[in-house]
Amino acid sequence: MGETIVRENPARIHEIVGTVDVATPAHVAAAVGRAQAAFPSWSATPLGERAAALEAGAAAISGAAGEFGTLLARELGKVEADCRGETGFAAAWLRWCNEHAGTALAGRDIDDEAGRLVVHRRPYGVVAAIVPWNAPLILSILKVAPALVTGNTVVVKPSPLAPLAVEQALRALAACLPPGVVEVVQGGAETGAALVADPRVAKIAFTGGEATGRAVLRAAAGTITPVVLELGGNDPAIFLDDADLTPATMTSALWGTFLTSGQVCMAAKRLYVHRSRVDEFVEGYLDAADRALVLGDPLDPDVTIGPMVSASQRRGLVALVAGATGAGAIAHPLGRVAPGADLDAGYFFRPVLVTGIDPAAPLVVEEQFGPAVPLVPFDDEDALVAEVNAGRYGLASSVWSADEDRAFTLAARLACGFTFVNCHNRSGMSLRAPFGGWRASGYGREFGPEGLAEYTQTHAVHRPAAVAGAGRAYPT
């Protein structure tokens, strides 16, 4: 008997949601072999036919949004409406890739006085997609859609903390495609390590934490396999002295942090508020939380924030908040608990806003990945820009101002891959806008034309104009 992953419901940890078999290194090798065997025919399939098959896959995924959404909510603790939204977003990205793949694969064909140059854009071959648990449907389809439409085949390894819905969704997609075009291997670090070390893997797309990213890069060095690395972040949300702090803005700022219980790579993880507006900000933020945050079981339609995903994630957050309050910071409890919710049954953490904190405290300078957000007042924009740009991470950020031009000007000075203006997190994403990190947040891009281009490589075919008189270049 092989090893099995047993997935519990983080809201009711005695409830088993499902199990999957762990892929051994031999299973991984077989999946890569099937993907490799499928590659020649899939890459030679006309783009229109590939896109039609993927459109059928998008329809299958969005048609089952309710089923996948409920399963995802149960295995992840994320509220059900959010989970359904993730399914819809995944289908929309599949369609966006279909629509734009022609441009991504277009290459160049030039014949002029400088010579003849044809630049082909070709798929790599077998892509390994390694996915974390926090938004597993969208984060797997973010890799699978551009890889497949440009002619690659893919082996996906989901996280052991969210293996179920993603496998079902990928099976629904795979049913619309030839065998071997999409494969799924389940397991943890060992399965992932076997996949990325396979020399037949031609490209790796990884989303996850920094330490794992390093391990993936080390493995990729052995085979010189190119990697897209989407790692963690510690996004600053910067509220300028003229920020519009209406109830609607405060609700948006709140969800910028607390969506998926704060467990989002691009969540606002530290709030920098101009000192002249701090009192007003705190009052508006607590009010917004009273209106919007209801903690409880993610299957309850009145609940807007669920538990954390695991005991270890919660332990880490408890330690960060205790460290801050132990040093004199104040943790303001946010929102309310749903009537009848049993918070002892799962990995619940009451959301908090932390004020009066040392700007160098671990809760400010590390990625907390959970529902606790520090607020740090600032006086000087230049000093703040220098401070946040000196941080280890450079994933995303946001600037909030009533003057949009002022916000865009300040945004351009921030050293990171994405800056939201007057919003933060998922509501500020766009399918056409490239997303990815600087520094320890990784490199490579997802979304937009750049996200499609990651899955093609160029091949230039060239005859220079001067061939007839080549003696000019080399002595004869």
By CB under 6 A, residue 236 contacts ligand NAD: no
- DSSP-derived secondary structure for 354-417: EES--TTSHHHHS---SSEEEEEEES-HHHHHHHHHTSSEESEEEEE-S-HHHHHHHHTTS-SS
CB of 159 to ligand NAD, least distance (A): 4
| Residue 79-118 contact track with ligand NAD, rule CB under 6 A, x = bound | ----------------------------------------
Q: How far is CA 389 from CA 138, 373, 412, in A?
A: 29, 19, 12
Cβ contacts of residue 455 below 8 Å, gap of 6+?
A: 123, 124, 127, 146, 147, 150, 152, 203
Q: Is 265 designated active site?
A: yes
Q: Which residue number has the CB closest to ligand NAD?
A: 192
| Residue 413-452 contact track with ligand NAD, rule CB under 6 A, x = bound | ------------------------x---------------
Region binding ligand NAD by CB under 6 A among candidate stretches 89-97, 144-152, 224-232, 328-336: 224-232
3-state secondary structure of 470: helix
- DSSP-derived secondary structure for 54-104: HHHHHHHHHHTHHHHHHHHHHHH---HHHHHHHHHHHHHHHHHHHHHHHHH
Comparing CA positions, the residue from 274, 266, 293 lying closest to residue 375 is 274
Region binding ligand NAD by CB under 6 A among candidate stretches 68-76, 126-134, 241-249, 383-391: 126-134
CB 366 within 8 A of CB 273: no
CB 237 within 8 A of CB 424: yes
Q: Which of 133, 285, 447, 455 binds ligand NAD (CB under 6 A)?
A: 133
CB 8 within 8 A of CB 16: yes
Q: Which of 5, 38, 97, 130 binds ligand NAD (CB under 6 A)?
A: 130
Region binding ligand NAD by CB under 6 A among candidate stretches 65-73, 132-140, 275-283, 370-378: 132-140
Between CA 175 and CA 375 the distance in angstroms is 48
By CB under 6 A, residue 228 contacts ligand NAD: no
Q: Which of 76, 216, 253, 254 binds ligand NAD (CB under 6 A)?
A: 216
CB of 208 to ligand NAD, least distance (A): 3
Catalytic residue among 97, 265, 416, 423: 265
CB of 210 to ligand NAD, least distance (A): 7
Chain contacts with ligand NAD (rule: CB under 6 A): 130-134, 139, 157, 159-160, 188-189, 192-193, 196, 207-209, 212, 215-216, 230-233, 265, 367, 369, 395, 437
Q: Which residues are catalytic?
A: 230, 265
